[in-house]
Structure 1
Amino acid sequence: MFHLIRKYAGMPLLNRSRGLARQFLSQTSCADEVQRDLLMSRIARHADSQFGRDHHFHEIRTPADFRRRVPIRGYDAMEPYIDRVRQGDLGALFGSGTKVLMFAMTSGTTNRPKTIPVTQESLADYREGWTIWGILAFDAHPRILSRGLLPILQIASDWRESVTPSGIPCGAITGLTAHMQNPLIRLTYCMPAIASRIKDIESKYYVALRLSVFRNLGTTIAANPSTILAIARLGDREKATLIRDLADGTIDPKWDLPVEVREALRRKVGRKHKQAARRLEAIVNQTGRLLPKDYWPDLCFLANWTGGTMGAYLRNYPEYFGDRPVRDVGLIASEGRMTIPIEDGTPAGVLDIRHHYFEFIPEDQANHEAPETVEAHELIEGQRYFILPTTAGGLYRYQIHDLIRCVGFHGKAPVIEFLNKGAHFSSLTGEKLSEFQVVAAVGAAQRTLNLRLSSFLLLPSWGDPPHYNLLVEESDLVDRNTVEKLAAEVEAELQRLNLEYENKRSTLRLGPIRIRRIPAGSWSDFQKRRLARSGGTVEQYKQPHLMPDLGALETFRLSDAASTSLAD
């Protein structure tokens, strides 16, 4: 019955979604006009806000006027206006009639998380962007729609973590979208909206498996592939508990679930799935493991980030999922969606010209006090830029510090890929090492040595001379010979990728990389510490691979009494 409801209730939605996607792709042929019309409408709508009056919105007639009147700002410069909105003064940023539904919390540069206003308009933009992405991905994999819509596993976090003094909820926008979904469409999703309230990460991942492992899953959707891998690894580790819970219609009490969540889930998991349990047991007896490629044999594709530093995780996908295609979910942040990928196997996506106005700072002007910007249609293929969105959530010429590269065009809309956060650079002696280079170097070393590191992190240390430490879990590097080879390969590749790094090494102003092994489970602990400090959510979490913090090494427990480097 549920299958038929999903099938026939979903048909009008699919047709509307396809129409929306066609309209978006058609708009790319006149991206310059679409962008400018969008900017002018936003300016007119909020001209009477305090921000609009402070920046003379009534006098803005062109994008050039906009650039002259409104300076480029990061979050800290926007905070005074956002704080007034938090206190209930919506007119600080928005015109009359605007409703703020919540604040999306995300990691900030300080211990205090950023709070990004989510208005009715910005939420509609966010949901529409996902709709366009989704129908293009589903139509590229028609098997997922062959019987209505195969089940989807997607993790969401609580949209009501806290409230502002004026009573506006603060949390994750993913939780709000789950809360607002059509109840019939919601049946397609394995995780109920109430599961977003589970705070303990492993407990949430277990519930995700408990509600999906027996279903014929069509896709998994997460921002970070580390989330998908963590779920797969947990299922293998907890296979006995999972099989028992399926057979008994329970969720083991060892998992840390809020009382109201456990009670709601009790009704959902009460049915005993003995046949499914026997099938999983047979898989374990045959293979010795419990992996998604065996219990989700019809999985059509995986959906998550693939650009920037994500390749370190994607190399582990075949072990757990076999040969499944991966569709990038796009460059998305709490501030909004910036790209819509339209093909598998690439981090690049078409700029979301329909929902935000964008400007770009050429990379060589990043340190200028007043850099010149270009519009979307003016990008040059192969060049790198910092992206500046102007959104319906009250952000104008917003410096999000995302470095992107233009890889081509769809009509007049650029196709761009995320490279790294501009803040993820380290320079002990002028080497200007980027996280992008670190990930590329470690990736090349892993391929050469046939290694699969669960994760890694490069941290600087002062000394005579200063040097970098590459942290890896000891379970990933067992013998000393491999440790030494990894150090040599990463060192050589970094020198090839970064001429300044090579110069500083050859002149002995910078010492060789040292491999520092840390206990198994350290990355999970590191994630928990960072989330507790920043207030971010699990699905938004980005494992850093380079941090310029000289004190960060002291926060890790090292397995080795001595380090291993090329000099040892």
Structure 2
Amino acid sequence: MAVYYFFVNIIILLSCLYEWSLFFLFSRSAKQVQQKLLKNILSTNTKTIYGQKYNFSKIKSYKEFTMLPLTEYQDYFEYISKIRQGDGFVLTSNPIQTLIPTSGTTQGSKLIPFNKKIKNRFQKGLNVWLFNSYLRCPAILTGQQYWSMSPITKASNAKSEKISVGFTEDSSYFGAVKKYFIQKLFATPVMLQKISDPIAHEYLTLLFMICAKDLSLISIWSPTFLIVKLEKLLFYYDQIIKDIAQGTISHKIKIDPVIRKLLFSKLKPNPKRAKELSAINISDKNNWQKIWPKLKIISCWTDGSSATFAYKLKGLFPKVKIEEKGLISTEGIVTIPWFTKQLKPVAYRSHFFEFQDIENKKIYPLWEIVRNKRYTVILTTDGGLYRYKLHDTVEVTDFIGRIPSLKFIGRETAIVDMVGEKVCEEHIQEIFNRLTHYDFIFKLVSPSIKEGKLAYTLFLEPKNYHNYNFAHLKQVFENEMRSNFYYLHAQNMSQLEPLRIFLINHGSGLTTYIKNHLSRGKKEGDIKYQLLTSDLSWDKIFKGQYV
């Protein structure tokens, strides 16, 4: 099979070569490429509702373009509504094919327009990304791959709506030809994305992943995804080995009979692989690396709050290269992992980029930002977002030609993203605002780890401890948080446990909060209360107990 995988990988490698060559060839002409891209976006969309409102046809320079307002998602509400009803030429002249959900603020989820042109722009960046992975480690040419690119979601539309809501399968981000060949390398069948039951999906993902001895690349988002998956393997291991040996799917796994039949056709009895796996004591995490002897690259987040977990993953797979993920969101692709020096250059051929200096708040085009400065990212895309604030803070670390290489620092707004859940402070505040029957002296929401399990915790100091039904509060709050489908997905994938409540001893909440910040060197006048934090240690700082 190694020869077959090598052949397929070579085809994919060669299909990425053209875009990678252009990316590198024009690396010293980033300004010209960006200006041409902006001109194309504006001229293409002059006849749209948005383009006519802001006179796109009269914009002849970047300076004139800067007269357009910076935008947030709420600025697109009325346009998204028109698109959902089937109106054309709203934000883009290129027809919107679907609306992709992503984490929102007060409403929990946003819907981002997606059309053929923005898909092509994503492909440009992803082709460069994939080619760099092959350059970084040519040994992956002889193996299979596991990709986890997006959550499983179901389209949910009212009958009056004309545009679908939801994701297509992950490989659809690539072109038709590349999609065909990439799917030949996938260790897990694409049809697994049609399985909504989290237990069945988890078991089958592990079954096909573990069966793939030739797995050479694992591409995930949060490093905790793989850690949690392998921890869950302990519960399924004996049954998985049995299924691998017999080429079966356990009857305990409840899935649609048609899907079961299709999946069954992809399994063959493999007693040799089952015997190899039986000899591995996976209760010892140091043995996890033995599951995939040909694994060479794990691609995942390594910056921000993921750094700790990426370090842990490296400890579990010491011989495997940890590839730093580029900065990518539903709205656009910002940076691409380069094959040397852990550089992550801007995807300058995909979108038009601007950057707002976090200190002086001035806005600069890509060709004017400088090394060692920090900025927040502003996007203009073929998908209909214009001067759109991503709220991602980045630092310029280096250059490839004249393309800045960026390091992701964190979110500008109060968003906690430990495992891809993207919980927003504004959304949390809205939930509390709706809980009119509860009165708290102090409240704080933060992830915490209890008995090795990660979950969000409500740290509460109520006015009256005896008048509240905390079990009901927990359920109501959890249901509201699960309206953020990324949070829901993280729970379904066992990366987050159910919400917890920690009752703070009466009279100590705010005092403890301030003392903690003072102990970290902050001046009392500079301490700004945050309802949502990413600090995992609050259950050790506050005095009280879980309920």
What is the TM-score of this pair, normalised by structure 1?
Answer: 0.74
Q: Deviations over 1:170-229 (max 9, x none)?
A: 223553617955434311011222111222334323222211212211110012212122
1:241 equivalent in structure 2:
239
2:165 counterpart residue number = 170
Correspondence for 1:424: 414
Using a 3 Å threshold, how does the CA distance of structure 1 residues 290 and 94 change in structure 2: closer, same or farther?
A: same
Aligned with residue 152 of structure 1, among 128, 145, 161: 145
Q: SS of the residue aligned with 2:280?
A: helix
Q: Report how many residues are paired.
A: 471
Tell me the distance in 1 between the aligned counterparts of 2:170 and 2:134.
22
Shift of 1:329: 2.4
* Shift in CA distance, 473/45, structure 1 to aligned 2, threshold 3 Å: same
> Structure 1 residue 27 and structure 2 residue 40: aligned?
no
Q: Which amino acid aligns with 1:189?
A: F
Give secondary structure in 2 for the equivalent of 1:228: helix
Residue from 500, 505, 508 that aligns with 1:556: 500
Query: Residue 103 of structure 1 aligns with which residue?
Result: 99
**Match in the other structure for 1:356:** 351
Closer/same/farther in 2, CA of residues 103 and 22 from structure 1, 3 Å limit: same
Q: Is 1:78 the equivalent of 2:76?
A: yes
| Structure 2 match to 1:136 | 132
User: What letter corresponds to residue 472 of structure 1 in structure 2?
Assistant: S
Measured in 2, the distance between the counterparts of 1:195 and 1:414 equals 38
Q: 1:535 aligns with which of 485, 488, 510?
A: 485
Report matched runs for 1:125-274 at 5 Å: 125-145=121-141, 147=142, 150-155=143-148, 156-158=150-152, 161-163=155-157, 165-172=160-167, 174-175=169-170, 177=172, 180=176, 182-215=179-212, 216-269=214-267, 271-274=268-271
Q: Which amino acid aligns with 2:167?
A: A
- What's the secondary structure of 2:239's corresponding residue? helix
Instruction: Name the CA shift for 1:17/1:295 in 2 (closer, same or farther; >3 Å).
Output: same
SS at match of 1:403: strand
1:400: which partner in 2?
Answer: 390
Residue of structure 2 in register with 1:38 after alignment: 37
Check whether the contact 2:8–2:184 (CA below 8 A) recurs between aligned residues. Answer: no
Q: Name the aligned partner's letter for residue 30 of structure 2.
A: A
Structure 2 vs 1, CA of residues 422 and 120 (structure 1 numbering), >3 Å: closer, same or farther?
same
Report the AA paired with residue 204 of structure 2. V
Give the deviation of 1:349 after TM superposition: 1.0
Aligned partners of 2:83 and 2:163 also within 8 Å: no
- CA distance in 2 between counterparts of 1:528 and 1:176 reads 32
- Mapped to 1, the partners of 2:450 and 2:301 lie a distance apart of 27
Determine helix, strand or coil for the equivalent of 1:337: coil
3-state SS, counterpart of residue 248 of structure 2: coil
Give the whole-Å Cα distance in 2 for the aligned partners of 1:272 and 1:32.
56
**Aligned match of 1:57:** 56
Cα distance, 1:336 vs. partner? Answer: 1.3
* Alpha-carbon separation, structure 2, partners of 1:6 and 1:135: 16
Question: Structure 1, unaligned stretches of length 5 or more?
Answer: 367-371, 426-434, 440-456, 478-510, 512-524, 546-553
State the distance in 2 between where 1:112 and 1:86 align.
Answer: 18
The CA distance in 2 between the partners of 1:128 and 1:539, in whole Å, is 28
Change over 3 Å in CA distance of 1:374–1:535 after alignment to 2: same
- 6-15 or 184-193, which moves further after superposition? 6-15
Distance 2:488 2:344 in 1: 24
C-alpha change, 1:365 and 1:250, in structure 2 (3 Å) is farther
**Aligned letter for 1:336?**
G
User: For residues 315 and 161 of structure 2, what CA distance do their matches in structure 1 show?
Assistant: 49
Contact 1:327 1:343 (C-alpha < 8 Å) held by counterparts: no
Contact kept? 1:17, 1:131, Cα under 8 Å = yes
Report whether the alignment pairs 1:415 with 2:410. Answer: no
From 258, 267, 278, give the equivalent of 2:275: 278
Q: Describe the shift of the 1:206–1:290 C-alpha distance in structure 2 as closer, same or farther (beyond 3 A).
A: farther
2:302 matches 1:302: no
Percent of aligned pairs sharing the same letter: 20
How has the CA–CA distance of structure 1 residues 464 and 334 changed in structure 2, closer, same or farther, with 3 Å as cutoff?
Answer: closer
Residues 1:385 and 1:178: Cα distance change in structure 2 (over 3 Å): closer
